[in-house]
Amino acid sequence: ETQSLDEIPVNVVREQQATGVQDNVLIINQTITTAHALAGMELPQFGLAEVLGVDRSTRAYVTSYGDMERSGQFCFPEKVEKEAYSVWMPTAGRPLEADFIGEEDFEGLRVFAFEISEQDLDIGTQQGTGLPQVLDIVVGMKVEPVSGTTVDTESVNTINIVPAPGMKMPVYVSSLRFTDDTITDLVDTARSARSMLLWAKVYGFWLVIGVGIVLTLVGVLGAIRTRPREVA
């Protein structure tokens, strides 16, 4: 029997601010701040500050800009097509295919729905144990096609260690979605159909994370209360 990880409800705020332009590449400082949703205290181990380099026209990452090599889309471009897009996924450390799955109405807008769904992606080894790690990821996105604005997103990321062939043990599970206020703001932006990338916007998320990642970060692996499960 597989036991569940303890869950920690947190609020995540992602702030993006453009700091300059180099050869049509926008340089963006992105800061992610995480706080406990109930206690209100900041959780610095889940914070992040990074520098991104994004093509102003295509909205794709440009290699050799920013603080690390990234490729694929930073976000969707203008005039979104009914086709797959390669989107950078930080947890995977690589771009993944976002497949077009249909059209629907959302908050009074006609939107395109995209989905990323991958299992058992190799993401290296776990620090401290050297055990192989694999990622299961599902991301759903609703995109207003004229402006390219993503008005809603939900994702589930599961990082598993593989202690033995045919066995997987989840050590980190995150379930992420936009807050209602963020959705309202993005829908208003999409309705205006302006061509912009929301560089100075603040994104709000609701996030539930498995406590296994906390224990992993502080090195207390024995406290993870999840047994390995067989791979189907």
Nearest 5°: the CA angle 34, 16, 207 is 30
pLDDT band at 4 (very low <50, low <70, confident <90, very high): low
Q: Is the dihedral of CA 60, 64, 70, 72 positive or negative?
A: positive
In a domain, 111, yes or no: yes
pLDDT digits (tens, 9 = 90+) for 34-67: 888 888 888 888 788 999 999 988 999 999 999 9
**Domain membership of residue 139 as a residue range:** 7-230
Domain tally, the chain: 1
In a domain, 55, yes or no: yes
What pLDDT score does 133 carry?
95
Higher pLDDT, 8 or 207: 8
What pLDDT score does 18 carry?
79
pLDDT digits (tens, 9 = 90+) for 108-158: 999 999 999 999 999 999 888 899 999 999 999 999 998 888 999 988 888
Pull the structure tokens for residue 172: 């980190």
In a domain, 173, yes or no: yes
pLDDT band at 209 (very low <50, low <70, confident <90, very high): very low
What pLDDT score does 92 carry?
96
Across-strand partners of 150? 143
Across-strand partners of 178? 205
In a domain, 41, yes or no: yes
Whose tokens are 């302006």? That residue is 194
In a domain, 1, yes or no: no
In a domain, 2, yes or no: no
Q: Does the structure show a pLDDT above 80 at 202?
A: no
For residue 67, give the nearest of 30, 99, 117, 115 by alpha carbon. 30
What pLDDT score does 101 carry?
99
Pull the structure tokens for residue 208: 């539930």
Phi, psi of 46 (to 5 degrees): -105, 10
Q: How many C-beta atoms lie closer than 10 Å to residue 203's C-beta?
A: 19
pTM: 0.81
Q: How many C-beta atoms lie closer than 10 Å to residue 18's C-beta?
A: 15
**What is the rounded distance in angstroms from the CA atom of residue 93 to the CA atom of residue 128?**
20
In a domain, 197, yes or no: yes
In a domain, 209, yes or no: yes
What pLDDT score does 199 carry?
42
Q: Is the dihedral of CA 13, 126, 64, 90 positive or negative?
A: negative
